[in-house]
Amino acid sequence: MILEKIKKKKYDIQDIVTLLKAEGEYLKLIYNEADKLRQSIFGDDIYLRGIIEFSNYCTINCDYCGIRCENTKVSRYRISDDEILKTCKLMQGYGQTTVVLQSGEDPFYTKEKLGALIERIKKETSLAVTLSTGERSREEYRYLKERGMDRYLLRFETSNIDLFARFHPDSDYEKRIESLNNLKQLNIQTGSGFLIGLPGETYEELAGDMLFCTELDLDMIGAGPFISNPETPLNGQENPFDKEVYFKVIAILRLLNPRAHIPSTTAFDAVDPMGRNKLLQRGANVFMPNATPQKYRADYMLYPGKPCVDESGDDCARCIVARLKMLGRNIGQGPGHSIR
């Protein structure tokens, strides 16, 4: 039986494909096992990591992404350090213990600028700081760590070289992986992950992404469904998998990576109004409430239907507290560092 093989770490890619096709009682069992495993490692604690999308400037052109540089329909913005600090202080009041600073690939933010921002956050709040600002050099990662950065998120998006090249005209697969290895070697808590269902993707390729996460031995693993964005070249190209597959991916990732932090990612609420709640019962142990000040949100539409565009940081902060109450979970105390 495959679940036993996973426990003994003796599985292969075909086993994962089989699990991705599970239905009925067997699927229920998978979800149940993932939830039990999450509970046995993290208890009822869900860590809250507020995400501030602080710049939507981007120099590159990932085919799926709404803020790709060729999309002239978005108004570009950068949020000032003062406004970021103000937002961080509000987040703290809601039990969010990490701030995730995310942007496009924006060279305006030099390592010095980001370093100064991190230092200010560290001095004026007790938040852990995660950055998600794209591919940077090893020296920049080293510098940012020195200035207080705790973690870095950089998705590999797909582990299939051909798919990667097809959808990333300005990026190089080998360089992306080298970036991830640099982060790990520098002892920065590293998160990565992938898009579930790029156009033309097969079950085998999806299973390959899942195995690759395990191989990378990540501290955090984030994955969400590809959603076709009409403002991109992938307009009209649909996700090859059905919705249930998206949920299976997260549950199986938990089974494969018992001790990784796995967030219930935003895109799941775009495909199912209860999506993020369901994931918290199927293996995920982290929630990343949107903390971006409301007025910027409409200009960070990576995909259509992105939730919480009309809401404020306060709304999302209260919303997750209510969700956790409904699910009988607690807000994780402390920074929620890697336990690997």
Closer to ligand FES at the Cβ: 94 or 164?
94
Closer to ligand 5AD at the Cβ: 122 or 155?
155
Q: Which of residues 29-88 bind ligand 5AD (CB under 6 A)?
A: 64-65
Closer to ligand 5AD at the Cβ: 182 or 192?
192
Number of residue whose CB is nearest ligand 5AD:
303
Tell me if 166 contacts ligand 5AD by CB under 6 A. Answer: no
**Tokens matching residue 227:** 């959603």
Tell me if 96 contacts ligand FES by CB under 6 A. Answer: no
Tell me if 195 contacts ligand 5AD by CB under 6 A. Answer: yes
Report what 320 binds from ligand FES, ligand 5AD, none; CB cut-off 5-8 Å by kind.
ligand FES
Tell me if 156 contacts ligand 5AD by CB under 6 A. Answer: no
Residue from 26, 19, 16, 20 nearest 240 by CA:
20
Instruction: Tell me the window of 26-34, 74-82, 88-96, 307-315 that interacts with ligand FES (CB under 6 A).
Output: 307-315
Tell me if 319 contacts ligand FES by CB under 6 A. Answer: yes
- Least separation, in Å, of the C-beta of 220 and ligand 5AD? 13
Task: Using DSSP, state whether 212 is helix, strand or coil.
Answer: helix
177-214: burial string, b at 16+ Cβ within 10 Å, e else: bebbebbbeeebbbbbbbbbbbbebebebbbbbbbbbb
Whether 73 contacts 312, CB under 8 Å: no
- CA-to-CA distance for 73 and 9, rounded, in angstroms? 48
Q: In the chain, which ranges are continuous DSSP H helix?
A: 2-7, 13-20, 24-42, 81-92, 111-124, 138-146, 161-167, 173-185, 203-216, 243-256, 267-271, 275-280, 313-327
Tell me if 155 contacts ligand 5AD by CB under 6 A. Answer: yes
Whether 107 contacts 59, CB under 8 Å: yes
Number of residue whose CB is nearest ligand FES:
319
Residue from 99, 155, 156 nearest 128 by CA:
99
Q: Which of residues 111-140 bind ligand FES (CB under 6 A)?
A: none
Among 6, 48, 114, 227, binds ligand 5AD (CB under 6 A): 227
Q: Which of residues 269-298 bind ligand FES (CB under 6 A)?
A: 289-290
- CA-to-CA distance for 213 and 196, rounded, in angstroms? 13
Q: How many residues bind ligand 5AD (CB under 6 A)?
A: 12
- Provide the binding-site residues for ligand FES, judged by CB under 6 A: 289-290, 308, 311, 315-316, 319-320
